[in-house]
A and B are shown apart, each in its own frame.
Chain A
Amino acid sequence: MNCNKTQKLLLTNYSDSEIDERLLKKVENHLLSCNRCKQFLQTLQERAIEPFRNNQEVHVPEEIWQRIKNTIKTIEKEQTGKLLHHLLNRIRFPFRVSRPVFAGIMSALVIIMSVIIIRVSINKKDSINIYLQAQLDFLSYLVSDDDTDGFGIDDPDLGTKIEKYFM
């Protein structure tokens, strides 16, 4: 294995322990015989690997949570506002149609209502006429002397003498 290939592996797989046994042995054998690569590895460890391994955890500033909570509150308010706005829009929808369309809808409604009212009133007139005719027939029967009228009551046999007497 040459120096170029070795250094490439030292920079990546070798330093990160992501190397298979076969390659690892080759790299180690090369390092035993090459001072330049040995020096390269030492510098690499010192400058590029160790500073990160000695990394100290930094604590998050306390005020961040308060900022996050405030943003969440604002988001929730906005969401509630959006929901209300949406609902209001739904309610307002019939009134948001353009004037000509609204006028058309209203005219159609007026026509339909008029037709219904007229038809109902015609039907009512017929039933009143029938009722009045019946009443007139009954009154004319009452005032007439003729017993053989349209009612078909012609000297009815009521079954007893006393009833006949009163009639």
Chain B
Amino acid sequence: MENIHKIPEDIIKKASDGNIEAFEEIYKSASNFIYNIALRITNNREDAEEVTHDVFIKIYKNLKNFGYRSSFTTWIYRIAVNTALTACRKRSRELKRTTLYTDAIKIRYIEEIVEEKKTKERNETLLSSILDILNPDQRACIVLRDIHELSYKEIAKTLNININTVRSRLKRARKSY
């Protein structure tokens, strides 16, 4: 996941001139990073694949406009998180959620899983169940904070919200499980 920080500037420049080999280099360095953000925010593999595809198309189209005003990583974070959030909103419009009842079931399910010995698969299931309880905005904050270890300030910058909103979303998210 650290590879994204090591993308050389000349590769970015070449890719912005339409060099597909340079763009593939960016893909190799950033694809897992983007896919994981998308997967945790959408909490759905199909959506995560779609979001990863869309994020790279957005990067390809807008690389010319990337003016190094922010770091390349922050720029990619912003595109990835926003695209994932849009995908979540689209899906939630499609599927009306029956929140309270299902949430109660999920919380009980988490409790059962916590009781069991943690293995990689169980942790994955647990993670997925926890994320499923949260709304997309809370998920984005939790993913950026607890998986990517971004500071409150960085999260606020990425999501274009203020620090108090970040704190409030984290608090509500953690309270709900």
Contacts and interface: CB of A to CB of B under 8 A. Distances in A.
Nearest to A15: B174
A15 B123 CA distance: 20
A58 B36 contact: yes
A60 interface: yes
B32 A51 contact: no
A65 B1 contact: no
Interface stretch (A66-74, A90-98, A103-111): A66-74
B14 to A, nearest CB: 15
Interface range on chain A: under 10, 10 to 19, 20 to 34, or 35 or more? 20 to 34
Interface stretch (A5-13, A23-31, A127-135): A5-13
Interface of B is mostly: helix
A47 B114 contact: yes
A64 interface: yes
Interface string A45-78: 0111101111111111100110111011001000
A11 B170 CA distance: 8
Contacts of A18: 151-152
A15 B173 CA distance: 13
B141 to A, nearest CB: 11
Contacts of B64: none
B142 A52 contact: yes
A17 to B, nearest CB: 9
A145 interface: no
A69 B130 contact: no
Interface in B20-50: 20, 23-24, 27, 31-32, 34-36, 39-40, 49
Contact of A48 (B27, B34, B130): B130
Interface string A100-131: 00000000000000000000000000000000
Contacts of A51: 123, 126-127, 130
Given A64-B31, A68-B57, A71-B53, 12 more contacts: A11-B175, A12-B167, A12-B171, A13-B167, A48-B174, A49-B146, A51-B123, A51-B126, A57-B36, A58-B36, A60-B52, A68-B60
